[in-house]
């Protein structure tokens, strides 16, 4: 009995060590991804009112998690802890599931929340199926958004990258194509490939907290 308990304690210790090194590896690889996003943001002249996010598709769950994020504004720069996003909601779900957009969508007609909250909530609900209970908790209320599907070397859709701004018509699509599509897309795909193993079994849904 004592021997069995000793074996169990050893196994528990080994598992803790594995988890520690695994977490360290994830942080390191996530830092690499966020550095790529920082470089893109710099090229696009993104400042305190802009942000870039990468949402990885969790195939076994049919959901997304926020795996990378960069903004000069620390309020918008924080990656949500243990958060998943439904694939049928928001601009993420819109660009992912609607083939007519061919993996790319631009929306610069989002109402300004500060001007009229009611119209803002109505727009998000009617266009992106986002209920008021979620949109009211958004930290960043963007009025200009570009979303694009990220595909791996085999043309499989694996994630979505989102460029967003609180300034209307601020985002330059030509610059995105030049600075992201031609220069950084491969680096981001490689970062996502390195992070493939990290599908946490304990991720909260976006419905439970702010974005």
Q: What confidence tens digit (pLDDT) does each residue in 92-124 have?
A: 999 998 766 689 999 999 999 999 999 999 999
pTM comes to 0.81
How far apart (Å, rounded) are the C-alpha atoms in residues 196 and 24? Answer: 15
Q: What is the pLDDT of residues 185-204, one digit of tens each?
A: 888 998 888 887 554 444 44
What's the full length of the chain, in residues?
Answer: 211
- Average of per-residue pLDDT values in the chain: 83
Q: What is the pLDDT of residues 135-188, one digit of tens each?
A: 999 999 999 999 999 999 899 999 999 999 999 999 999 999 888 887 788 889
Which domains, ranges and CATH numbers included, belong to the chain? 2-208 (3.30.450.40)
Asked whether the beta carbons of 92 and 147 are under 8 A apart, the reply is yes
């Amino acid at each position: 009995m004592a021997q069995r308990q000793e074996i169990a304690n050893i196994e528990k210790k080994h598992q803790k060590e594995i988890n520690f090194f695994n977490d360290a590896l994830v942080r390191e690889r996530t830092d690499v991804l966020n550095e790529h996003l920082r470089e893109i943001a710099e090229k696009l002249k993104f400042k305190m009112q802009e942000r870039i996010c990468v949402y990885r598709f969790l195939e076994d769950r049919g959901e997304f998690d926020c795996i990378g994020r960069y903004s000069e504004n620390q309020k918008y720069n924080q990656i949500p802890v243990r958060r998943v996003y439904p694939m049928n909601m928001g601009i993420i779900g819109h660009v992912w599931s609607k083939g007519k957009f061919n993996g790319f969508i631009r929306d610069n007609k989002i109402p300004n929340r500060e001007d009229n909250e009611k119209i803002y909530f109505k727009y998000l609900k009617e266009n992106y199926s986002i209920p008021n209970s979620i949109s009211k908790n958004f930290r960043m209320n963007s009025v200009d958004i570009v979303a694009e599907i990220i595909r791996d070397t085999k043309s499989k859709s694996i994630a979505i990258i989102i460029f967003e701004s609180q300034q209307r018509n601020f985002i330059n699509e030509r610059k995105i194509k030049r600075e992201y599509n031609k220069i950084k897309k491969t680096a981001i795909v490689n970062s996502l490939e390195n992070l493939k193993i990290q599908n946490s079994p304990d991720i909260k849904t976006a419905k439970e907290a702010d974005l």
